Structures are given as structure tokens and as C-alpha cells.
């Protein structure tokens, strides 16, 4: 059974200014699920990109099924049965689900693309994964969680023997995660070796056999999951013990900052009323698709409002576009950092400067590069963003560090309300605590914080008050003391009865 299907020996890789992997060795057996763990920027994605031929190593040996592979590339990796589900969604948003699944290995008939065959094959794959989706749908129209399921379907459709999942569950609903775990169990039985990268450590116990830990580009150790514990894993990951997972501070509740009155914006934002006071963090909980992101987008002026008022510090404000919100003092850290939060081809300095040009520009409209650099450097040090310098492209940072840049953009503004939409997605345990502390700092400064999150323990752990949404409406409000996961879930599933109970369909 101890058959090694992957052996990486003494692999090193550097990028300009960063030694991403320093003499790392790694192995994977058939039929096992191996969790590859480490803080943001530890080198997990880089190591797996080398294994799957996306990056070339600087030195070291790659052995697949015991054979040395000299020059690995993506095509060769595919032929060897290596498939990777990338951390950042990698789909062509203008193509259909089926076209994405078969990208690069399209099914043809009579020398032409066979859409009908690809659609019917895709349908089979989706069905076997329990994914409710039509193959003809355009990927760009799907939610982030559905897009992630397409990525998974794409990787699984190629009958791979070595499957790498880089943060596959970060955008999935609880039900989708369960379905994915069933698939993993099935693949394991068939002898597939799976590398599983996740910052959601609590889910590991359901599937993981072994863990390998990286820190700062170096191999730390490997352990059988049964013989270790989460606190031990975390201390190996971060090199120290983390005292408090959810640091909570109490502040005096001050004046009302924000009032949202009878806000309507499309089917997922129906009659939303909410208040936010100085000195509090208000959590917005709900299932995926409950309308939480849509509500934040409507408040921030991305989506048009049909009706309703936004009242800031007692005055009704007109917010028709994001710039109106920003200049009034309402800012948003969006859910999809790659699409909405960052310009990945621009430097960290530019990304942080962009929404702050009013602060950085001098009278004649000339950028004051000293302030610009200071602003970026301060964000980097406040949030402990790991990067060689502020001139590198945002796209070159590790996933979690990208997320910190999105948050870092707003630190210098005198905002009144900061809305965080899933801010800890893909962020490691230590960095999560940094983000919570940052929210606490804002709260202490009298800034109102709205905190959308799908992870109930953190909503309960950090918020002072919790609003629960279901199907575009607010279905409940709870004080933190009375909130439990069960109660929140009850409110989160309070769907309106849309079908008359007397009508029988049987």
C-alpha cells in the first residue's frame, strides 16, 4: 500500500526577491489524502504548481510513479494523470460550463467540435458530482461557489491519478463541501492520491490521512493525522502558539452611524432595514445565495437601488456609484478579490493608491509619491503582508496576502463604515486573527463594521450583533450572547412558503 506516486526531492524555486521554496521534499502515496499546510506565502501553491508543470523548478528532482520526470510541463503532467484545482478560479468566464470542462481536450467528431457530445458528457460528470447545473450555462453568470464546482468537475473529468486541490472549499456551501468529501472518499478507494490544501483546519478530520507542513518555503515535517492534533499542527505552521482564535474586545456603544431603511435592489435585496452603531461589529450571516453580498453591493453603490434610504450620521446620503460611497465614508472589502478587489497586473503600491488618489494627489493633480509609498508601506507592515517589495504585481502574491492588500487599501481613509464581505476566505489561522484585530481596531476608533461571513464560528466569535438573511430578506437578529450555530441556521433557512400548502402534486 505504501506505494509512492509522487516524490519531490530537494526542490527549490525562487521568484525575484523571494525564495519561495528552499530545498523542499514531499511525497504522496496512492489512496491517501495528504493535507499540505502552512501559513499564507509558505509555498504550498508554488510546490503544487511545480508538480503540475505550471512553474518550472530551479533545482531538485520530480519522480512520478517512481520515474524521474526531467522537464515537467502542464501537458506532460496531464498525460501522467496529474490534475490541479487552482486556488484562484481559472475559468474562461465567456465560455459555457461544458466548454470549460473540456478546454484543451475538446471532443470532436468529423473534424469538428462536438458541442452536443461535450454537453452530454459534462452533464454526466456534473450529475455524478451532484452538481445542479446545466452544461450550456455561461460560467461568468455563475456564483463563485458554482464556478468552484466547475473547476472541480473539470479536474475530475480527466480521470486523474494524482489530484491536487488548492483551497477547493473556500467558496463552497456546507452541502457542496459534503458532496466534495464523498467524491474524495470515492477517488481514494479507486487509488487516487490527493493533495488537499486548506486553511479550514476543522474540516481536515473528515478526510485527511497525513499532513505535511511548510513554513517560509521550508519543509517542517509530515505526520499521520491520527497521531497529531490541531493545536500541534498550528504551532508547526506558525512556529508559535496562538492564544486566542477569536479576540473579542468590548467597546461602549456610541451614536448610530448607519441606517439602512427599506432598501430594495433586485430579487436578493428585499426590504432591508439595519442599524449600525459606533463601537460595534455587526455580523451578517446566512447561507450562500442569501443576498448578503447583493446587500453590500447595493449599499456601496455597485448595484442600482430600486428604493430605500441610506442614512449616514443622521443625514440621508445619495449613493449611486462606489465613488459616492467612498467619498461619504463607506468602503467595501469585496468577496471576490481577483475580480473586484485587485488589479492583479498592477503593483501593490498602485493598488493601495488607486482608491486613495484624493489623499495622495497634490493640488495640481500630481501624485505625491512619498505619501503614496508611505501609505503602501504602512498597510504592508500593519497587516504583515508578505512580499519582496511594494513594486511587485498584486497577482504574484500568495492568495492570503492578496486578500490583505484588498483590506489594506482602506486603512488610511477616515471611513465611517467598513463592510467586509468574507474577509478571511483563504487566509491562514494567524492572519485571520490579524484581520479580526484590525476589525477590532476600527471598532475601537468608532468606525462601524459590517462583517459578512459564511463561517458561523467566526461570526459568533467576533460580532457584537448578528443579522441573519435568507432569500434576500432579513429573517432574524441576535445578540451574540444568544447566538448559537443552530439558532442562526434556523433563521438562515426561513424561506417564504412559495407554494400553497393545500395544493398536492402527488
Ligand X SMILES: Nc1ncnc2c1ncn2[C@@H]1O[C@H](COP(=O)(O)OP(=O)(O)OP(=O)(O)O)[C@@H](O)[C@H]1O
* Binding site residues, ligand X, CB under 6 A: 15, 18, 20, 38, 40-46, 87, 386-387, 396-401, 428
Whichever of 37 and 353 has its CB closer to ligand X, that residue is 37
* Residue 397 site contact among ligand X, Mg ion, none (CB < 5 to 8 Å, cut-off depends on kind): ligand X
Of residues 67 and 73, the one with the C-beta less far from ligand X: 73
Choices 85-93, 259-267, 288-296, 428-436; region in contact with Mg ion by CB under 5 A: 85-93
Distance linking the first and last C-alpha atoms of the chain: 51
Which 3 state secondary structure label does DSSP give 191?
coil
> What is the closest distance, in whole angstroms, from the C-beta atom of residue 45 to Mg ion in the complex?
3
Closest contact distance (angstroms) between CB of 189 and ligand X is 28
Contact of 56 with 50, CB cutoff 8 Å: yes
Q: Kindly tell me which of 431 and 483 has the beta carbon lying closer to ligand X.
A: 431
CA distance 285 to 352: 29
What is the dihedral sign for C-alpha 135, 141, 145, 147?
Answer: positive
**Closest by CA position to 300, among listed 270, 320, 272:** 320
Residue 296 interacts with which of Mg ion, ligand X, none, CB < 5 to 8 Å by class: none
For 126-158, give the DSSP string: HHHTT----TTSBGGGS-HHHHHHHHHHHHHTT
Stretch touching Mg ion by CB under 5 A, among 200-208, 216-224, 392-400, 461-469: 392-400
Distance of closest approach, residue 88 Cβ to Mg ion, in angstroms: 8
- Least Å distance, CB 170 to Mg ion, is 10
- CB neighbour burial string for 421-455, b if at least 16 within 10 angstroms, e if fewer: bbbbbbbbbbbbbbbbebbbebbeeebbbbbbbbe
Contacts 24+ apart (CB under 8 A), 343-346: 343/394, 344/393, 344/394, 344/395, 344/402, 345/393, 345/394, 345/395, 346/393, 346/394
Q: Residue 351 touches which of Mg ion, ligand X, none (CB < 5 to 8 A by kind)? A: none
Instruction: Figure out which of the listed residues 45, 198, 424, 440 binds Mg ion, where binding follows CB under 5 A.
Output: 45
Site stretch for Mg ion (CB under 5 A), options 79-87, 214-222, 260-268, 383-391: 79-87
**Pick 4 or 15: Cβ nearer ligand X:** 15
Q: Between 53 and 399, whose beta carbon lies closer to Mg ion?
A: 399
- The C-alpha atoms of residue 59 and residue 162 are separated, in whole angstroms, by 22
Give CA–CA dist 469/290, Å, rounded. 6
For the chain, how long is the longest CA-to-CA vector?
A: 73
Determine the residue with CB nearest Mg ion.
Answer: 45
Question: Closest separation between CB of residue 14 and ligand X, Å?
Answer: 8
Least distance between ligand X and beta carbon 380 (Å): 12
Residue 422 interacting entry, from Mg ion, ligand X, none, C-beta within 5 to 8 Å by type: none
Instruction: Examine residue 399 and tell whether it contacts Mg ion (CB under 5 A).
Output: yes
The owner of cell 455597485 is 302
Q: In angstroms, what is the minimal distance from the CB of 425 to Mg ion?
A: 12
What residues between 318 and 357 interact with Mg ion by CB under 5 A?
Answer: none
DSSP 3-state of 10 = strand
Q: Rounded CA gap, 319 and 302, in Å?
A: 9
Nearest to Mg ion of 199, 349 (CB atom): 199
Amino acid at each position: 500500500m505504501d506505494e509512492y506516486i509522487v516524490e519531490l526531492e530537494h526542490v527549490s524555486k525562487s521568484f525575484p526577491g523571494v525564495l519561495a521554496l528552499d530545498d523542499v521534499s514531499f511525497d504522496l502515496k496512492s489512496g491517501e489524502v495528504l493535507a499540505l499546510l502552512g501559513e499564507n506565502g509558505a509555498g504550498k501553491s508554488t510546490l503544487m504548481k511545480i508538480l503540475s508543470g505550471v512553474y518550472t523548478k530551479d533545482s531538485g528532482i520530480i519522480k512520478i510513479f517512481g520515474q524521474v520526470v526531467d522537464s515537467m510541463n502542464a501537458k506532460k503532467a496531464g498525460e501522467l494523470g496529474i490534475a490541479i484545482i487552482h486556488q484562484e478560479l481559472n475559468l474562461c468566464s465567456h465560455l459555457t460550463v461544458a466548454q470549460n470542462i473540456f478546454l484543451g481536450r475538446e471532443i470532436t467528431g468529423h473534424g469538428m467540435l462536438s458541442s452536443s457530445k461535450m454537453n452530454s458528457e459534462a452533464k454526466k460528470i456534473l450529475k455524478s458530482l451532484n452538481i445542479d447545473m446545466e452544461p450550456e450555462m455561461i460560467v461568468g453568470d455563475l456564483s463563485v461557489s458554482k464556478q468552484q464546482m466547475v473547476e472541480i468537475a473539470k479536474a475530475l473529468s480527466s480521470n486523474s491519478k494524482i489530484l491536487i486541490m488548492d483551497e477547493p472549499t473556500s467558496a463552497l456551501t456546507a452541502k457542496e463541501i459534503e458532496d466534495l468529501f464523498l467524491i474524495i472518499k470515492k477517488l481514494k478507494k479507486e487509488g487516487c492520491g490527493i493533495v488537499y490544501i486548506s486553511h479550514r483546519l476543522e474540516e481536515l478530520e473528515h478526510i485527511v490521512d497525513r499532513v505535511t507542513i511548510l513554513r517560509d518555503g521550508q519543509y517542517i515535517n509530515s505526520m499521520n493525522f491520527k497521531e497529531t492534533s490541531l493545536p500541534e499542527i498550528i504551532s508547526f505552521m506558525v512556529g508559535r502558539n496562538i492564544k486566542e482564535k477569536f479576540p473579542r474586545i468590548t467597546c461602549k456603544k456610541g451614536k448610530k452611524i448607519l441606517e439602512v431603511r427599506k432598501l430594495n435592489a433586485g430579487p436578493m435585496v428585499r426590504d432591508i432595514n439595519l442599524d449600525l452603531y459606533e463601537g460595534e461589529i455587526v455580523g451578517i450571516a446566512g447561507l450562500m445565495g442569501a443576498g448578503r453580498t447583493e446587500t453590500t453591493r447595493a449599499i456601496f453603490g455597485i448595484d442600482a437601488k430600486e428604493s430605500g434610504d441610506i442614512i449616514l450620521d443622521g443625514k440621508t446620503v445619495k449613493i449611486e456609484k462606489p465613488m459616492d460611497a467612498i467619498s461619504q465614508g463607506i468602503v467595501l472589502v469585496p468577496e471576490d478579490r481577483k475580480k473586484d478587489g485587485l488589479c492583479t497586473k498592477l503593483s501593490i503600491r498602485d493598488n493601495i493608491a488607486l482608491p486613495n488618489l484624493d489623499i495622495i494627489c497634490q493640488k495640481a493633480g500630481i501624485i505625491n509619491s512619498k505619501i503614496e509609498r508611505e501609505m503602501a508601506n504602512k498597510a504592508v507592515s500593519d497587516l504583515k503582508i508578505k512580499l519582496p517589495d511594494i513594486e511587485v504585481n498584486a497577482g504574484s502574491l500568495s492568495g492570503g496576502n492578496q486578500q490583505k492588500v484588498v483590506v489594506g487599501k482602506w486603512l488610511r481613509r477616515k471611513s465611517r463604515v467598513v463592510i467586509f464581505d468574507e474577509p478571511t476566505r483563504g487566509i491562514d489561522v494567524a492572519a485571520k486573527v490579524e484581520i479580526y484585530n484590525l476589525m477590532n481596531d476600527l471598532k475601537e476608533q468608532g468606525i462601524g463594521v459590517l462583517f459578512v461571513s459564511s463561517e458561523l464560528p467566526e461570526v459568533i466569535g467576533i460580532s457584537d450583533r448578528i443579522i441573519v438573511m435568507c432569500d434576500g430578506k432579513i429573517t432574524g437578529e441576535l445578540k451574540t450572547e444568544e447566538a448559537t450555530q443552530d439558532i442562526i441556521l434556523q433563521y438562515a433557512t426561513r424561506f417564504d412558503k412559495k407554494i400553497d400548502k393545500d395544493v398536492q402534486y402527488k
